[in-house]
Amino acid sequence: MTVNNVDKKIWEKLFTPFKYTIYIFLIYNGYLFFIDDWAASSQTFSHGVNFANAIEAFTASIDTFNWIILLLMFELETWVLSDEVLEKKPLKWSLMAIRIICYSLIIYAFYGYIAKLLLFYGVISFNAENICNLVDGKLAMVVTMDEYVILTAENCMRLHGLELFKINGQNLIADSASLLTSQRRAWIDVVNSGAWLGVVVILEVDVWFQIKGLLKGTLLRVSTIIKVILYSALIICAFYWGILGVILDTWDALLWILAFVFIELNLFKWQQEILEAASSGQPTS
């Protein structure tokens, strides 16, 4: 056995456990986002969460768990299952049904990010001679986009003398700095979600053409250029979250980028197998 073959065997043994460790981290992050959404929803939806507003209350949670399902489906299609198995109609239609449900919820979550963005633009000027007189155990102040603190006699003075805004229909007030930061973070969420939708659309196209043996030449180059643009946007979003000190979002964004790099590597290996099989006259595995 050559040195290159030994290195390849070592790489394959390390690659899979590392990849699945990243996937486990992403599942745990989904749980953390649910905890954050649950805490935030107690303020933004003080009258209770129902089916109609659940997507706004638990946008990050719903989005994350559906992305996890899609990620695992891409893993099945690009790494676990053979081309022959993927062509079987019962499995093909089952995967398609799951995919349609996930994409529907992800698009719905994208709407949720837009709704949250609009929430922080739906504000009115809030004037109060003494903000501490408004302490009632319900009114809360915005710290960041998803972090709100009940206004108390102890913390109300930090808002004294600041320009304040009230979010329409909510028991939330924000100073201009907190409002601006929340708006910017909401924009990043929208851009990030939209870029990820673009990534999976391109991956879906790649997988479909790969199964047909057509992912090559100009089509492959165009796909690569589009993905470079989209992944660059995602890296910029992660960088911005890092500047803001939003540790969970930064960590989660980097994990997702790494996870989809694995999918891209799966796709590359799949391409190589097809080329090797074509040159040897053997079916792909």
Q: Which pLDDT value is given to residue 96?
A: 87
Query: 214-248: b or e for each residue (b if 16 or more CB lie within 10 Å)?
Result: ebeeeeeeebeeebeebbebbeebbebbeebebee
Q: Which pLDDT value is given to residue 130?
A: 85
Q: Which pLDDT value is given to residue 129?
A: 79
- The answer to whether residue 239 scores a pLDDT higher than 70 is yes
Query: Where does the pLDDT of residue 2 fall: very low under 50, low under 70, confident under 90, or very high at 90 and above?
Result: very low
Q: Which pLDDT value is given to residue 262?
A: 87
> 121-171 pLDDT, tens per residue?
999 999 887 888 888 888 999 988 878 889 998 888 888 888 999 998 888
> 198-237 pLDDT, tens per residue?
998 898 888 888 777 777 888 889 989 999 999 999 999 9
Label residue 122 left, alpha or beta by phi (over 0 means left) and psi (-120 to 50 means alpha): beta
What average pLDDT does the structure give for the chain? 84
Query: Where does the pLDDT of residue 246 fall: very low under 50, low under 70, confident under 90, or very high at 90 and above?
Result: confident
* Token pair recorded at residue 283: 């079916």
Q: Which pLDDT value is given to residue 6?
A: 47
Residue 122 vs residue 89, higher pLDDT? 122
Q: Which pLDDT value is given to residue 282?
A: 57
- The answer to whether residue 52 scores a pLDDT higher than 70 is no
> 128-137 pLDDT, tens per residue?
878 888 888 8
Cα separation values, 233 from 9, 59, 63, 241, Å: 34, 21, 18, 13
Domains of the chain by residue range: 3-121+179-280, 123-178
Q: Which pLDDT value is given to residue 81?
A: 80
Mean pLDDT, residues 255-272 taken together? 84
Mean pLDDT, residues 51-57 taken together? 69
